[in-house]
Amino acid sequence: MFEVASANLLISIAIIDRVKMRLMYWFAESSVNRKRRFRTSEVDKFGTMKLGARLIAPVIILLLSLTTELTKAEVITLTPETFSDKVKEKDTAWFVKFCVPWCKHCKKLGNLWEELGNAMEGDDEIEIGEVDCGTSRAVCTKVEIHSYPTFKLFYNGEEVSKYQGKRDVESLKAFVVEETEKAAEKAQLEDKEL
């Protein structure tokens, strides 16, 4: 996972450098006064134009935000159309965050859910999902969500447990791994009895 993020960062830096150089050339060639060329005093020691910095900065910020999206862990947004099918997947645990955009406690979580997604990325048996109860009210009503944020674990379509511990990545990860193991053992015992 770290190698992928490092490779993406290196690619992003190379792309940013290339875009920056092309913008510098374009800005120099398409200035209003074509006779005027930039003097070396207008170019700082790092090769960027002081005059063109205002044009380059938004492009760099845009590229960095796109890179962040590419390296972002996969937290799957569940909707009324996808929720039931996803949580019923055989031998798969779904740890789902139920929130609304206006909730101050949900906002306070920040990137916690994405960080948990990063931490759980290598585990194929555990999926991290989220439901926006503002737009997916039917789902939240069905699973009896009465406060926000609420974290629930589902295994083979059944609710296993509700998380009520500390809100940090390590605690959430320990909870989901432990509860998933218990649910998997219980499912195996039930399969053997049939």
Is position 99 annotated as part of the catalytic site? no
pLDDT of residue 151: 97
Tens digits of residue pLDDT in 16-43: 566 555 555 555 555 544 445 545 554 4
Confidence of residue 189 (pLDDT cuts 50, 70, 90): confident
Is position 133 annotated as part of the catalytic site? no
Determine which one of 99, 106, 133, 140 is catalytic.
106
The strand pair at 150-155 and 76-77 is best described as unpaired
Residue-range domain boundaries for the chain: 2-71, 76-193
pLDDT of residue 93: 95
Residue 140, token pair as written in the block: 């939240």
Integer CA distances (angstroms), 163 to 19, 58, 144, in order: 46, 41, 14
State what percent of residues in the chain have pLDDT above 90: 55
On whether the 76-193 domain is CATH 3.40.30.10, my answer is yes
